[in-house]
Chain A
Amino acid sequence: MGDCALPVLACPEQIALEGKAPVLMGSQCASCGEVYFPASTGCTRCCATEMVPYALGGSGSLWSWTIQGFQPKAPYNGGESEAEFQPYGVGYVEMACGVKVEARLTVADPALLKIGMPMTLTLIPYRNVPGHPPVFTYAFAPAA
């Protein structure tokens, strides 16, 4: 990242960067209060259509995890060759509101992952193509 330039994000609408640490953005049903990530245009719980923005925060606990052991086909666009591909962690992280967010994890070692462990939101450069700025997405790291 440059000193002043904001990172290129794969999903800018899902991430708020105003403060020091990134925060995930979703929506909440104005009628029944159900929270959604990513933001939804309607409530699948009560069928209402008025939604308001909702900040899910940047920390939670690991709810489930796996290691992506093979390189996905398109539309995955990490940009690495098959030989360069490194397995990556994927998990659901339970946020304070109870919603579980699916995300890349910064670690891919089963020995370092345990359901229930505290996790912190960060950004990772998941797409790296020579001659282009890296593209970042949200990910969770074990909390320090």
Chain B
Amino acid sequence: MSDEVAIIGVGLHPFGRTDHLSGQQQGAYAVREALKDAGVEWSQVGVAYGGSQDAGNADALSNLLGLTGLPFVNVANGCATGGSALASVIAAIKSGVAEIGVAVGFDKHPRGAFNPRPRDWGLEDWYGETGLMLTTQFFALKTQRYMHEYGIDEDALIRIAQRAFRNGALTPHAWRRRELSYEEIAESMPVNLPLRKYMFCNPAEGGAALVLCSAKHARKYTDRPVIVKAAVMRTRNHGSFEVFNPGLAATQSVAPTVTASRAAFELAGVGPKDIEVIQLQDTDSGSELIHIAENGFCEHGEQAHLLRTGATEINGRLPINTDGGCLANGEPVGASGLRQVIEICTQLRGQAGLRQVQGSPRLGYTHVYGAPGVSAVTILQSA
């Protein structure tokens, strides 16, 4: 306990489209909300890590928040930006660099699918030019293969999307708040089969921030600290099936989600069965389908049954993406991982309103996955 780090404040700029605010302004808004929640001033913050993919440097937030001279490190780790910022703040606090630290993520993406530049990812131009370098394509190819290997049909993909929008409708800050019927999802436009329009999240805008301090000081600031039992980030191993891969190795190995998840459970000294509320990366229905098993919450192939029987609903045994996840909130890449942490903190504090998981959950879990094969996992516990 003495060595642990606690989250003492959370702040969100709602995801979606906010035309009159830049990405950095949405990030600064999130930091101010988190500081207010923790009851601390920006001048008390001794270290900050943060980043965005398309909205500039995080240390530019100091121009909006105050030039206090603090060490502010820019993080650029794609979808794992928030998770990496969080892990870095925790390491800094544990090493004694500062008593209070901030992790922040924000973004503002253009509309439509991402269009990465091959050379940024160590690939040749032809891979993008010939129409092979799309994240949506990868998710579809991985999902198609997975459904074939484990005998899962489209019903599971539809149910995941349906639950996301049902939960989004209960979440005041969600972007997509309209429930969708089974048929609407099943009959929506094929984007990359087997994945359809309403099975994909959209790139969006927003900001998310956390204020952290050493767990032994946490009660000075809040009566409801959330202890970070583990915050682990891993990159891919040779042979895993990742996004932006013109060729896959002959022999497959496990995904970085699996290695990050196992390391996090080991660090926290708990197992998947102990977790009471879960956030999984759901850039699309197929990704969530796979991530349920990759994170250890069921065996591969069991998902269809879990989904059909309601186990992943808010009142089920494995409540997943209680705020509607990426599907209902959109994906501002830099902020998305921290939104997940904020939702778990909100649930552990019992402040989730209509979407509150009953029975006062004490242990929660978050997971992000992104290009070019990175994953970050946290395990959080109410103190």
B is a partner of A = yes
| Residue with the highest number of chain B CB atoms closer than 10 Å, among A70, A126, A137 | A70
Residue numbers in A under 8 Å from B251 (CB-CB)? 98
* Contact (Cβ within 8 A) A37 B192: no
Residue numbers in A under 8 Å from B118 (CB-CB)? 75
Contact of A67 among B192, B239, B246 (CB under 8 A): B192
Minimum CB–CB distance for A87 against chain B, Å: 8
Give the residue name and chain of the A residue nearest to B239 (CB). Answer: A45
* Contact (Cβ within 8 A) A38 B129: no
* Contact (Cβ within 8 A) B245 A64: no
Give the residue name and chain of the B residue nearest to A108 (CB). Answer: B193
* Alpha-carbon distance A65/B193, docked complex (angstroms): 8
Minimum CB–CB distance for B251 against chain A, Å: 7
* Contact (Cβ within 8 A) B129 A77: yes
A113-135 CB contacts (< 8 Å) to partner B: 115, 126-127
* Alpha-carbon distance A70/B191, docked complex (angstroms): 6
Given the known A-B contacts A36-B247, A98-B250, A101-B247, are A44 and B113 also in contact in the complex, defined by CB atoms under 8 Å?
no
A68 adjacent to chain B (CB < 8 Å): yes
Minimum CB–CB distance for A90 against chain B, Å: 6
* Contact (Cβ within 8 A) A69 B131: no
Given the known A-B contacts A44-B238, A45-B238, are A66 and B144 also in contact in the complex, defined by CB atoms under 8 Å?
yes
B140 adjacent to chain A (CB < 8 Å): yes
Given the known A-B contacts A99-B247, A115-B145, are A104 and B193 also in contact in the complex, defined by CB atoms under 8 Å?
no
B27-74 CB contacts (< 8 Å) to partner A: none
A57 adjacent to chain B (CB < 8 Å): no
B114-168 CB contacts (< 8 Å) to partner A: 115, 117-118, 124-126, 128-134, 137, 140-142, 144-145, 148
* Alpha-carbon distance A60/B239, docked complex (angstroms): 19
* Contact (Cβ within 8 A) B142 A68: no
Contact of A99 among B113, B129, B248 (CB under 8 A): B248
A112 adjacent to chain B (CB < 8 Å): no
Residue numbers in A under 8 Å from B134 (CB-CB)? 68, 72
Give the residue name and chain of the B residue nearest to A37 (CB). Answer: B247
A26 adjacent to chain B (CB < 8 Å): yes
Given the known A-B contacts A10-B126, A64-B145, A115-B145, are A69 and B246 also in contact in the complex, defined by CB atoms under 8 Å?
no
* Contact (Cβ within 8 A) B130 A67: no
* Contact (Cβ within 8 A) B239 A92: no
* Contact (Cβ within 8 A) A137 B141: no
Give the residue name and chain of the A residue nearest to B148 (CB). Answer: A115
B151-194 CB contacts (< 8 Å) to partner A: 189-194
* Contact (Cβ within 8 A) A10 B130: yes
A30-58 CB contacts (< 8 Å) to partner B: 34-38, 44-45
| Residue with the highest number of chain A CB atoms closer than 10 Å, among B124, B130, B133, B142 | B130
Residue numbers in A under 8 Å from B1 (CB-CB)? none
Minimum CB–CB distance for B128 against chain A, Å: 4
Given the known A-B contacts A73-B112, A90-B137, are A67 and B131 also in contact in the complex, defined by CB atoms under 8 Å?
no
Give the residue name and chain of the B residue nearest to A75 (CB). Answer: B128
* Contact (Cβ within 8 A) A72 B148: no
Residue numbers in B under 8 Å from A97 (CB-CB)? 250
Give the residue name and chain of the B residue nearest to A87 (CB). Answer: B190
Residue numbers in B under 8 Å from A103 (CB-CB)? 132
Given the known A-B contacts A64-B142, A64-B148, A72-B113, are A34 and B193 also in contact in the complex, defined by CB atoms under 8 Å?
no
Given A66-B140, A73-B113, A98-B250, 10 more pairs with CB closer than 8 A: A36-B247, A65-B141, A66-B193, A67-B190, A75-B117, A76-B131, A90-B131, A92-B248, A97-B250, A115-B148
Can you list 29 A-B contacts (CB < 8 A)? A26-B247, A35-B250, A36-B247, A38-B247, A45-B239, A63-B145, A64-B145, A64-B148, A65-B144, A66-B141, A66-B194, A67-B192, A68-B131, A68-B134, A69-B193, A72-B134, A73-B115, A74-B128, A75-B125, A75-B133, A76-B129, A78-B131, A99-B248, A101-B246, A102-B247, A104-B132, A115-B145, A115-B148, A126-B130
Interface residues of A (CB under 8 A from B): 10-11, 14, 26, 34-38, 44-45, 63-70, 72-78, 88, 90-92, 97-104, 110, 115, 126-127, 137
Nearest 7 Cβ contacts at the A-B interface: A98-B250, A37-B247, A66-B140, A75-B128, A73-B115, A64-B145, A11-B126
